[in-house]
Chain A
């Protein structure tokens, strides 16, 4: 009788260990839940580590989510400027057009600091620091950026921390290059 119960318990524990490890959502912190964790611990994002995808326009490094003011001053007077308030809420989206590329920024409705959300090339006057621009071939892109891209329709997107760099192709030639901030 004793052995029987012992056997059952052992087999159950083996099954248990199995289901334990592959079960669903991973406990965010590997360590312990605590008796008195002050709850809701969103750790402040560590110092914004720079994404490896940024646009370098003759010396000015433009990172996504960066503060717009210094970049705008560095780039000087835009050729065109466009502003579109979001429907009812007081936020503001702005577009500054420069020679060969457009710079998109957004201003939050509550904290008023303007940050960069995307940079788009429209002509081959400018190129990425890896040398890709309008008209480049698919092979060039893959040779420069590797193949862990996500493909969606004609758009190939490479992602790194908070920025994604995406190329849109028409008959395997780049027609648009854009750096975009990934909004969570």
Chain B
């Protein structure tokens, strides 16, 4: 009799855990049609061939302004962008630490704009950067480092405890992507083809203190050390976006930091004409982020430097990689066409203009 009781008890525990897992997957936001940036981080783990020459880490400055497909097509460099919305520097550090569990890239490119934020901004951004990671010690450390006061660490270990209240917001999307998610980015690049020419920008405001926060410098040191320990070349990068304003005082600090740590620092804002960016056609939100044509130009520029500085081999002849990247390139161009078609039909991209789409009830 005792044995039977234990077995039935074990079955109960199993049932509870599977049910909890199923409900968690159902209730967690899917980020497939709304706020797609949320799905970027988890997409990396679906990648079959986790072996890239270059890994990008950072916020929208990387996942909107560079296209790994162009890097491959022009220079045979394999790359992946591990970006997420409002990715703060400690997010970047832990995401890099997590990525190194799967692969050892030759070069890591880090977008330095996130140095301007020295405290977590919004709970939603924390969730989008952290929930995508599989449960691991890195994820727990990352959550601890980024949590706002009202957040609990356990809700990152069991996200069901955070998203349980979505039960009355479940939509068709939640059921459709319950188990299988669609790919929304190309090796981390979020494509947008629409255009919105840049106008003027408000004059930059005077800051009380231009020095970056100490916590930012701590984590920058940690990233430098992590790369050194793994024999990876770290590149500091300022993407060519015109807003938020990149103060000279900030630039000076990064230049100084790069010299002290013998790192390559590229401020693409100083090479706009060399890149050939035209902010009336190459941006989709008046200069904040580049669109597809802008991203391809900036990738071409960056690829040349990376290849020269770190003599990255041109792997376009590699049969194995060719097959993999052919598939990625086809998907890339297919999405490009679809987006152009959508642009002609509606005049804007549905996925990125939810409110307008709902108003014209096309969603």
Direct contact of A and B (CB under 8 A): yes
Asked if A97 CB lies within 8 Å of chain B CBs, one says yes
B200–A80 contact, CB under 8 A?
yes
Contact of B124 among A89, A104, A120, A152 (CB under 8 A): A89
Asked if B203 CB lies within 8 Å of chain A CBs, one says yes
- Nearest residue (CB) in A for B211 is A153
CA distance A175 to B207 in the complex (A): 11
Asked if A102 CB lies within 8 Å of chain B CBs, one says yes
Asked if B68 CB lies within 8 Å of chain A CBs, one says no
Instruction: With A84-B244, A90-B355 given, name 4 new contacts (CB 8 A).
Output: A89-B85, A97-B202, A97-B203, A154-B208
CA distance A102 to B355 in the complex (A): 27
Query: A152-B208, A153-B208, A178-B205 known; A87 and B85 CB under 8 Å?
Result: yes
Would you give 10 A-B contacts (Cβ < 8 Å), ordered by A? A80-B202, A82-B243, A84-B244, A88-B125, A89-B85, A90-B35, A97-B202, A155-B208, A168-B207, A178-B205
Q: Note all chain B residues with C-beta closer than 8 A to A175.
A: 206
CA distance A130 to B201 in the complex (A): 29
B35–A122 contact, CB under 8 A?
no
Asked if B347 CB lies within 8 Å of chain A CBs, one says no
Please, how many residues of chain A have a CB less than 8 angstroms from a CB on the other chain?
25
Asked if B288 CB lies within 8 Å of chain A CBs, one says yes
Q: How far is the CB of B185 from chain A (nearest CB, A)?
A: 13
B200–A82 contact, CB under 8 A?
yes
B199–A88 contact, CB under 8 A?
no
Asked if B43 CB lies within 8 Å of chain A CBs, one says no
Asked if A108 CB lies within 8 Å of chain B CBs, one says no
Interface of B is mostly: loop
B86–A122 contact, CB under 8 A?
no
**0 or 1 for each of A136-158: is its CB under 8 Å from B? (1 = yes):** 00000000000000001111000
A83–B286 contact, CB under 8 A?
yes
Q: Note all chain A residues with C-beta closer than 8 A to B355.
A: 90
Interface bin, chain B = 20 to 34
Show the binding face of A for B, using Cβ within 8 Å. Answer: 80-85, 87-90, 95, 97, 102, 104, 120, 122, 152-155, 166, 168, 175-176, 178
A89–B35 contact, CB under 8 A?
yes
Q: Note all chain A residues with C-beta closer than 8 A to B85.
A: 87-89
Contact of B205 among A84, A97, A154, A176 (CB under 8 A): A176
- Nearest residue (CB) in B for A177 is B206
**From residue 84 to 138 of chain B, which have CB atoms closer than 8 A to chain A?**
85-86, 122, 124-125, 128
Q: Note all chain A residues with C-beta closer than 8 A to B335.
A: none
Asked if B226 CB lies within 8 Å of chain A CBs, one says no
Q: Note all chain B residues with C-beta closer than 8 A to A178.
A: 205
Contact of A88 among B86, B202, B244 (CB under 8 A): B86
Query: A90-B354, A90-B355 known; A84 and B288 CB under 8 Å?
Result: yes
Contact of B199 among A80, A154, A168 (CB under 8 A): A80
